[in-house]
Amino acid sequence: MMRLLQCCFVFLLFIGMAIAAPNVPVHKVDNYISPPPQKPITVHIKTKVIDVLDIDEHAEFFTVKLSTSLRWKDERLRFDPNKANTDIKLFQDDDGIKDVFFFWRPVFNHSNSTGSRDVSTSKLAITPDGTVHYMEIYTIQIEHPMNLVYYPFDKQKFDIYLNIINAKSHPIIIKKETKPSIFYEPIARQVNIAQWNYLGMKDEAKKSLTRKNLYYYKLQIRLERKPMHIITRVYIPIIIFTLLSFIIFWVSPKSVIDRINLSLIGLLSIVTYQVIVQDYLPPVSDVIPIDIFVYLSFLFVIINIFITMLLYHFYTKRKMRVIHNVDLVCRYVFPIAYLIVAIGLLLASVLSSGSP
């Protein structure tokens, strides 16, 4: 008897909780998760650059914030704007879209990314004729090799590849979007990134040459490095160290030890400074202009040492007239020649860097 009363109490409690519970709307999941019936499916894509957040030359990847818009048509989503009391059905943010939007949408990814994208905003809208507009704003890290032959006067092209997961039964054709987006996109007037100038972007949709019925979308970002950061931290200090080494020609030839010491100090200063600024330089196997400049500075300092030893040899032979003439010429010829060669190398690097 006691057990029967307990069962009745639990049953009545369950009925009361069900009555008191709020009416939670249950979304009907229609059989529209499969792709639209039309074959092939055409998806229009447009990607815009909001900002370039970081460029890592050592790891050869860059972090970029993008806005990607997709447009396709699904006849099953047609609706009467008079009955729906709206000209457009709008869904906000990815969680909200997943909760109420049970229809098919293309899933895209970036083939040269190092990880998944970090989505900050997503929107989806449906117009009465069944056209679906989808937009994402996200941050992603892209892996791309860099051409650093002309560093620090280089211009870079960063390619971003976007493709859509393609079902064999429903081929997808990707086309470049030419119509303006119906969504407001917070595109910056000027993309700013430290030590770089933004030169623009271009995009295109292409068919793969290696895989049948596979299309992809390519976005190319063009950047130009601001060289003043490297010029003020590498070029100018080494030029100063090398010019200071030429003061040995103003020291008396009798003080050969002082001359050699000054030359060695200049040489060691350049070597030490190069080690200090090594983090500024990219890990490149090829010889780049900045390497040629440093080696050139080494060469001038080493020539100073050899000339000092030669003048000391003349001093032991008491050829004071020769020593005086050599010193007089080297005091002006060496600094002027070094500056001409160094500046000429810089100008040649700038001119040969070419266009991105």
172-195 pLDDT per residue, tens: 889 999 888 888 765 555 677 888
Which amino acid, residue 279? D
| pLDDT tens digit sequence for 331-345 | 899 999 999 999 998
Residue carrying the six token digits 């639990």: 10
- Asked whether the whole model's pTM tops 0.85, one would answer no
Q: Which residues contact 102 (CB under 8 A, 6 or more apart)?
A: 27, 28, 29, 30, 32, 33
Q: Where are the domains of the chain?
A: 41-226, 229-352
DSSP 28: -
At 76, give phi and psi (nearest 5°): -70, -15
Domain covering 41-226, topology = Acetylcholine Binding Protein; Chain: A, (2.70.170)
Concatenating the DSSP letter of every residue in 267-311 gives HHHHHHHHHHGGGGS---SS--HHHHHHHHHHHHHHHHHHHHHHH
Contact 196, 225 (CB under 8 A): yes
Q: Would you say residue 26 has pLDDT above 50?
A: no
Contact 311, 251 (CB under 8 A): no
The CA-based angle 346-352-356, given to 5 degrees, is 120
- E strands along the chain, which residues? 41-56, 61-73, 89-92, 108-110, 118-126, 131-143, 155-164, 172-176, 196-207, 215-225
| pLDDT tens digit sequence for 117-154 | 999 888 899 999 999 999 999 999 999 888 888 888 88
pLDDT mean over 1-29: 45
Q: Which CATH superfamily does the domain covering 229-352 fall into?
A: Neurotransmitter-gated ion-channel transmembrane domain (1.20.58.390)
The CA-based angle 354-52-55, given to 5 degrees, is 70
